[in-house]
């Protein structure tokens, strides 16, 4: 059994991860840490009332030094951006660390944890930086077009408000989002750099948030290095992801509701421009699952040789 410690149990992704661990007998949740929830049982936390195995586990508030003394196989850091470093320093070389924030993506000594793009490097890794949710959807859509796609590549995204986390802001304010779509982060969003680093292409990223809770869609438009047909590019994407059942490639336009609540990334609607020199394709996934929690669990299994 894989013993997991979770730092950051309050957030939406942390809760999603706890629910997944509760259902999988291969894992044991050794502890869940949260300053805001300390002293409460997990089953008394929003969204976790139905836990069967870990419902009576009491949430703790562990300092980095205290976390380092716990006997676990893996520590998942579910903290907001900028807060992971003290825990990483205290934990030292062991155990396995999976960071869900942006702090260590594409940093020396860390493996970028995309099973479909980087699975070989994830196997046996001790430090894994989980990809961002938008980046996961965009990376996979673009990877399905390579090497036919050039650059720069435009990525237009809309996410549910759970992607903005639990800290109050306009991006998760029901009144701001009511009958509305809120653009944000233009001209240098962190996922823009992340997607560029993962795909090797120049990226222009335009994120938005809407009033639904979970799921996201990105629409990618890329120049082609030479004219190609819809069928040629569809076959290229199908062949790229044939070994990965969690990535579905289809001719039809994907709908967000088909991916919400699942571990799928669905890529579809591929359309080449009339001159054959550019292509547009959409990609959908659940930002809390394939874009975060269940991708982290896949990385853990790969790193520990369980998958």
- Rounded Cα gap, residues 284 and 121, in angstroms: 25
Helices (H) and strands (E) in the chain, counts: 10, 13
First to last CA, the chain: 14
Structure token digits, residue 252 = 């039809």
| Residues linked to residue 205 through DSSP beta bridges, in sequence order | 155
Closest to 191 (Cα-Cα) out of 287, 299, 63: 287
How far is the C-alpha of 163 from the C-alpha of 158, rounded, in Å? 10
Three-state DSSP at 280 gives: strand
List, in sequence order, the alpha helices (H) in the chain.
12-23, 64-68, 85-91, 115-122, 133-143, 174-177, 190-199, 230-240, 256-259, 294-303
In three-state secondary structure terms, 13 is helix
Q: How many residues can be counted in the chain?
A: 307
Distance CA 299, CA 295 (A): 6
* Sequence-separated (6 or more) residues with CB below 8 Å from residue 70: 5, 30, 31, 62
Candidate list 102, 125, 133, 266, residue with the active-site label: 133
Cβ atoms of residues 160 and 214 within 8 Å: yes
Positive or negative torsion for Cα 92, 95, 100, 106: positive
23 has catalytic annotation: no
What lies within 8 Å, CB to CB, of 234 at 6+ separation is 249, 251, 270
For the annotated catalytic residues, the residue numbers are: 133
């Amino acid at each position: 059994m894989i013993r997991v410690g979770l730092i950051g149990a309050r957030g939406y992704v942390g809760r999603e991860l706890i629910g997944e661990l509760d259902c999988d007998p291969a894992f044991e949740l050794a502890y869940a840490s949260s300053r805001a929830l300390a002293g409460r049982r997990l089953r008394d936390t929003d969204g976790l009332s139905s836990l069967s195995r870990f419902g009576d586990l009491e949430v703790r508030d562990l300092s980095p030094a205290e976390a380092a003394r716990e006997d676990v196989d893996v520590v998942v850091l579910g903290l907001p951006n900028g807060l992971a470093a003290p825990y990483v320093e205290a934990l030292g070389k062991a155990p396995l660390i999976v960071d869900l924030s942006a702090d260590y993506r594409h940093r020396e000594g860390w493996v970028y944890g995309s099973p479909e793009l980087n699975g070989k490097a994830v196997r046996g890794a001790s430090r894994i930086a989980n990809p961002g949710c938008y980046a996961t959807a965009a990376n996979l859509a673009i990877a399905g077009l390579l090497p036919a796609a050039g650059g720069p590549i435009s990525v237009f995204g809309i996410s549910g408000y759970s992607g903005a986390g639990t800290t109050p802001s306009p991006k998760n304010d029901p009144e701001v989002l009511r009958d509305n779509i809120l653009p944000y982060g233009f001209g240098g969003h962190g996922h823009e750099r992340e997607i560029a680093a993962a795909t090797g292409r120049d990226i222009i990223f335009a994120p938005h948030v809407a009033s639904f809770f979970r799921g996201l869609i990105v629409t990618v438009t890329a120049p082609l290095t030479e004219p190609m047909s819809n069928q040629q590019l569809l076959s290229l994407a199908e062949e790229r992801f044939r070994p990965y059942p969690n990535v579905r490639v289809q001719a039809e336009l994907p709908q967000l509701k088909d991916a919400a609540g699942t571990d799928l990334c669905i890529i579809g609607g591929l359309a080449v421009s009339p001159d054959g020199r550019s292509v547009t394709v959409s990609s959908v996934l659940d930002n809390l699952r394939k874009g975060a929690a269940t991708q982290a669990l896949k990385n853990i299994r790969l790193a520990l040789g369980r998958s």
